[in-house]
Structure 1
């Protein structure tokens, strides 16, 4: 069969029509396969021809983008592009400006300053080599580079490395300006502040057409957020996705969004190089949930995103795994001599409980206490945001943690956060900061296997050890905060004595 024929291909068993197209030889290294296949999701021949023409045009555009050379942007271009970051921060914190705790202006003003600064006028004391710069400044710079890469992917712009760095610097300046403005507002100075409704998102962004009637996407998103009360991070991330889709469509009318529109958006995201799982979970899922809220509340007649899917293939080379005994020993050995209280205790608590690092990062002194005479720590929603309802739980402390002197450390702390050295992130959570700090530290130890998540791999390891040493499965789930799998699991209680008995079956890592 000639795969290059420009007509739909009918599956011999299902009768569903497909687009099948041979990948040009020059693009095979970039695409990673010999053939492009996409289901048209119809058995009607005339409808298949119409959808095939659309899908083929999208495919040809994607290939054209892959052949296009990287672009160069100026500092002025970068400044124009990052206005959305400044305005988004102001928009997000406009009601309570003191809630912005992610970007500290005293640290932020030093980001990207070097012996050869981009502009004149930097105090000599603010200039250092890359090796001497403080860890906090390096973290800010890394975050800005990540945001630059994500923004370029969102708007489909391929640039050279120097341009990417210009954009990262511009983002740092934008966040610095917004942090200073919010600080002034928090202190009562609201002069000159206006909330920008239509925020620019790219160099050549067209004005977004407002809906004549009916709700806008952002109005649906705000209604969804008000009812669902998501975490600040989820709300910020999902509203950002709505902004991206609005700019892509060129209008904000939720009722005008069609399946074809969302398929074009999906194709554009794929062309940007985003992983299928990222598109499914971080792009399509938020839009689907927000549109469904609109349907459920009488604002829309249907949800076009229900019929938009993307195949996600599990890659064995990328599957997460737990730390081996040797890796666990290496990390805990290094942690035991760390100057940071957080780095000293957080890996150990995760190693012997399977807790998420974000949960450990936000522990307070009052969260460590005795239950039925057994030393435990509480993972409580009062301390910070949790993943779900099952995450709130009590976890007995392993004897290895007790022998290391954890209770003495707790007693030495003042009331409040155990790890006060961790500053809240932009959403007010110490968990986000702790995750970044520990992840960098683990990678600096030389543990660079991509299948390892520097923080979450403790959780995988605990599950593996539970199977290896015969821990009761339902009790392991209670310890780690995983949902109860069966109806039987929902009957009865989980005594702390039983949880402690199971945890003690986990052997101590030989240090």
Structure 2
């Protein structure tokens, strides 16, 4: 099992996002442990289904997560192993079509932040004072909620920012989001309110390198990157600081909030998608790359948060 996965990972090192390979590895470790590292060629669909049930019943993983993550990962690797690039190690894909029944989940509320939640999070962020003993911890709390509020970017994309990623292009202050979930980098204009608050001055005063984490504070060989660790730390801090409804995500809620506010401001869909990094729905739209001038105009149209 381990050998099969590592072959797949090596083949896809330049084809799949690093986070995807990491997620798949976690699923394969679980399967390998459950199957006592049996030869992958000996596994059938019944074995995989029993493993999926074990994930659900013994490990407490939700059926939706198992279907979306574990079974997708295993099916992808096994399918590769049936083809020429995978050496045709497997005669067929035993994970094809497998899924667990998912209980119907009734949403408890909308995924966007409500006004009092927006105000509470952003006020808490604005009140963060510089911690000279842990500068990046105070910086990530001070700036990442505001950056997410004015870009809809994933927190992990923001915590990956380095000093050189914030720059001026054609007179427009921008941030280059290089590490993204899709693996496709994008450039996002900075809202004027961020500049007024001193974000560019903060970047200019930084020592160089990552803005929101310090390599010295993280293990070199940790499976979770420093940026991801900081993203999780932001969520934990927001939960501990703000009386946030448990049904809304303290980080991802900004993506929903930004797009909802952008919709209300009349910003067209393709510009909302370009700023947030959402994939477009049609083939024709994929030929269109909104220029920075359009994105900048859209960002000027985005309403300012008034606390």
- TM-score, normalised to structure 2's length? 0.87
Alignment of 1:73-472 (within 5 A): 217-229=1-13, 230=16, 234-272=20-58, 273-296=60-83, 297=86, 298-317=88-107, 321-339=111-129, 340-380=138-178, 385-390=179-184, 392-421=185-214, 423-424=217-218, 426-427=222-223, 429-472=225-268
Higher relative contact order (CA 8 A, sep 6+): 2
Deviation at 1:288, TM superposition (A): 1.1
Taking structure 1 as reference, are residues 245 and 389 closer, same or farther at Cα in structure 2, changes over 3 Å only?
Answer: closer
Q: After superposing the two structures, state which structure 1 stretch, 478-487 or 440-449, moved more.
A: 440-449
Deviation at 1:275, TM superposition (A): 1.0
Q: Distance in 2 between the 1:453 and 1:479 partners?
A: 20
Deviation at 1:233, TM superposition (A): 5.1
Aligned residues: 290
Q: Distance in 2 between the 1:327 and 1:448 partners?
A: 7
Residue in structure 2 matched with residue 199 of structure 1 by the alignment:
none
Deviation at 1:469, TM superposition (A): 1.4
Q: Any unmatched runs of 5+ in structure 2?
A: 130-137
Contact 1:325 1:509 in 2 (8 A): no
Q: Distance in 1 between the 2:5 and 2:11 partners?
A: 10
Instruction: Kindly name which structure, 1 or 2, has the bigger radius of gyration based on alpha carbons.
Output: 1
Contact 2:213 2:227 in 1 (8 A): no
Deviation at 1:424, TM superposition (A): 4.5
Taking structure 1 as reference, are residues 486 and 241 closer, same or farther at Cα in structure 2, changes over 3 Å only?
Answer: closer
Q: Distance in 1 between the 2:175 and 2:19 partners?
A: 25
Any idea what the Cα deviations from partners look like across 1:180-239, whole Å, max 9, x if unmatched?
xxxxxxxxxxxxxxxxxxxxxxxxxxxxxxxxxxxxx22210111001115555444433
Contact 1:365 1:413 in 2 (8 A): yes
Taking structure 1 as reference, are residues 479 and 245 closer, same or farther at Cα in structure 2, changes over 3 Å only?
Answer: same
Deviation at 1:432, TM superposition (A): 0.8
SS at match of 2:281: coil
Taking structure 1 as reference, are residues 264 and 419 closer, same or farther at Cα in structure 2, changes over 3 Å only?
Answer: closer
Any idea what the Cα deviations from partners look like across 1:138-160, whole Å, max 9, x if unmatched?
xxxxxxxxxxxxxxxxxxxxxxx
Deviation at 1:505, TM superposition (A): 2.0
Taking structure 1 as reference, are residues 475 and 428 closer, same or farther at Cα in structure 2, changes over 3 Å only?
Answer: same
Any idea what the Cα deviations from partners look like across 1:427-467, whole Å, max 9, x if unmatched?
37332122121111100123342221111111110111122
Deviation at 1:509, TM superposition (A): 1.2
Q: Is 2:280 the partner of 1:496?
A: no
SS at match of 1:355: coil
Deviation at 1:242, TM superposition (A): 2.4
Contact 2:149 2:254 in 1 (8 A): yes
Deviation at 1:270, TM superposition (A): 2.7
Q: Distance in 1 between the 2:45 and 2:223 partners?
A: 33
- TM-score, normalised to structure 1's length? 0.54
Contact 1:320 1:453 in 2 (8 A): no
Q: Any unmatched runs of 5+ in structure 1?
A: 1-216
Deviation at 1:315, TM superposition (A): 1.6
Contact 2:152 2:276 in 1 (8 A): yes
Report the RMSD for the aligned CA atoms in angstroms. Answer: 2.1
Q: Distance in 2 between the 1:336 and 1:463 partners?
A: 22
Deviation at 1:347, TM superposition (A): 0.7
Taking structure 1 as reference, are residues 495 and 502 closer, same or farther at Cα in structure 2, changes over 3 Å only?
Answer: same
